[in-house]
Chain A
Amino acid sequence: MNPIKQISFTLILVLTSLSISAAINVYQFDDPVKKERFYNLIDELRCTVCQNQTIAASNAGLAKDLRNKTYKMIQAGKTDDEIKTFMVERFTDFVLYNPPVNNSTLLLWIGPAVLMLIAFIFLISNIRKRVSTPVTEIDAQEHERVQTLLKQKKDGNND
């Protein structure tokens, strides 16, 4: 990449990708429950045009529009699911920071627990096996070798 091109490339990146001023929007609610739902929702919806920000955190135009849309839908009495469906229909599951459980996300959701289970089964069987094997001679040999290696430390340890 030639230098000038690189400069303009970096420049574009800086201008488009960073929304570094806090997105602060004043929304009025009469109902504290609605207010809480609103803030929870915009914290879980992804600003599709941003680098990796929620629509709550971003100052991008689209994030503002989607915040306003969410606000209007909440005020109009829509449920959280209806609002999420509305967003998913337009922007796919990509807008949800909390991915839904379905066939393609099954591994994501149960993978960690399965892994944990396998690891523990492996651990327990391994320890059982270990308990039943007799002590090998390696232990003694190695002990001696290690002691020689660490000897000077012992020498100095007479304080």
Chain B
Amino acid sequence: MKLRALLPLLAFLILVVLLGYGLTRNPKDIPSPLINKAAPAFDLPAVLNPDDKVSDKNFLGKVTVFNVWASWCSACRDEHPILVKFAKEHKTTIYGLNYKDQRADAIRWLGIFGNPYIASAYDVTGNTGIDWGVYGVPETFIIDKKGIIRYKQIGPVTDKIIADKILPLIRKLEKE
């Protein structure tokens, strides 16, 4: 047996390892290019009161959770009670970005399911969403005291993710 004859087998085994690794990944998860960059600027009216403004300036000086949601998004409904509970149990600043929604629907939604947000920015055009690289609602960002994005969660936040990733990170960032 020549060693050369083993080459195809070797190449195939590498391929199998690669494909096996692929099974553990979601090919649609894109890491955010905004990690460790300044939060993109925006200045939008608030959902509940159009005269109030929500902007990236609100995030400065404290660790902020910024959650992108919409009333039309079914995964947001699964996520929402967890956020409400999280807001109650921990004194964390949570802002919302209401993405491509109707104001009346959004207000009704908050009325029914509870409002964990200090305020939600009303992004009816989706332009702020584009600037934040939002592509699948819900998404959740964690921003440090200096207004730098430190973490992004794509898809609904779960209790496990809060316990394993979000809370430890917030604790760490608060000490910085």
| A contacts, CB < 8 Å to B | 12, 48-49, 61-62, 65-66, 69, 88-92, 94
Interface SS of A by simple majority:
helix
Ranked nearest first, the 8 interchain pairs of A and B with the lowest CB-CB distance are: A48-B135, A90-B133, A49-B135, A92-B33, A65-B126, A94-B30, A91-B133, A49-B136
The number of chain B residues with a CB under 8 A from chain A is: 17
Q: Once the chains are docked, how many angstroms separate the CA of A61 from the CA of B135?
A: 10
Q: Would you mind naming 12 contact pairs between A and B with Cβ atoms under 8 Å apart?
A: A62-B126, A62-B135, A65-B129, A65-B130, A88-B33, A89-B33, A90-B34, A90-B130, A90-B133, A91-B133, A92-B32, A92-B133
The answer to whether B126 touches A91 (Cβ under 8 A) is: no
Question: In chain B, residues 100-157, which have Cβ atoms closer than 8 Å to a Cβ of chain A?
Answer: 100, 125-127, 129-133, 135-136
- Chain B residues with Cβ under 8 A from A91's Cβ? 30, 33, 133, 135
Which B residue sits closest to A17, measured CB to CB?
B28
Task: Verify if B22 is at the interface (C-beta below 8 Å from A).
Answer: no
Judge if B31 is at the interface, Cβ distance under 8 Å.
yes
In the complex, the number of residue pairs spanning A and B with C-beta atoms less than 8 Å apart equals 36
- Could you tell me the distance between the alpha carbons of A145 and B57 in the complex, rounded to whole angstroms? 87
Chain B residues with CB under 8 Å of chain A are: 30-34, 74, 100, 125-127, 129-133, 135-136
A92 touches B131 (CB 8 A): no
Tell me the complex Cα distance, A12–B34, Å: 29
With known contacts A48-B30, A61-B126, A65-B126, A90–B136 Cβ distance under 8 A: no
Chain B residue, CB-CB nearest to A47: B135
Instruction: Check B126–A92 contact: CB distance below 8 A.
Output: no
Q: Across the interface, which residues of A come within 8 angstroms of B129, CB to CB?
A: 65
> Considering only CB atoms, which chain A residue lies closest to B134 in the complex?
A62
Residue in B31, B74, B100, B127 whose CB lies within 8 Å of A92: B31
Contacts of B30 in A (CB 8 A): 48, 91-92, 94
Given contacts A61-B126, A65-B126, contact A90 B132 (CB under 8 A): yes
Q: How far is the CA of A69 from the CA of B131 in the complex (A)?
A: 11
Distance in Å: Cβ of A12 to nearest Cβ of chain B = 8
* Closest partner residue, chain B, to A51 (CB atom): B28
Q: Please measure, in the bound complex, the distance between the C-alpha atom of A49 and the C-alpha atom of B129, giving whole angstroms.
A: 13
Measured between C-beta atoms, what is the minimum distance from B106 to chain A in Å? Answer: 16
Q: Which residues of B contact A88 (CB under 8 A)?
A: 33
Residues of B contacting A62 with CB < 8 Å? Answer: 126, 135
Chain B residues whose CB sits within 8 angstroms of the CB of A66 once the complex forms: 130
Q: Which residues on B sit within 8 Å (CB–CB) of A61?
A: 100, 126
Residues of chain B within 8 A of A69, CB atoms compared: 127, 130
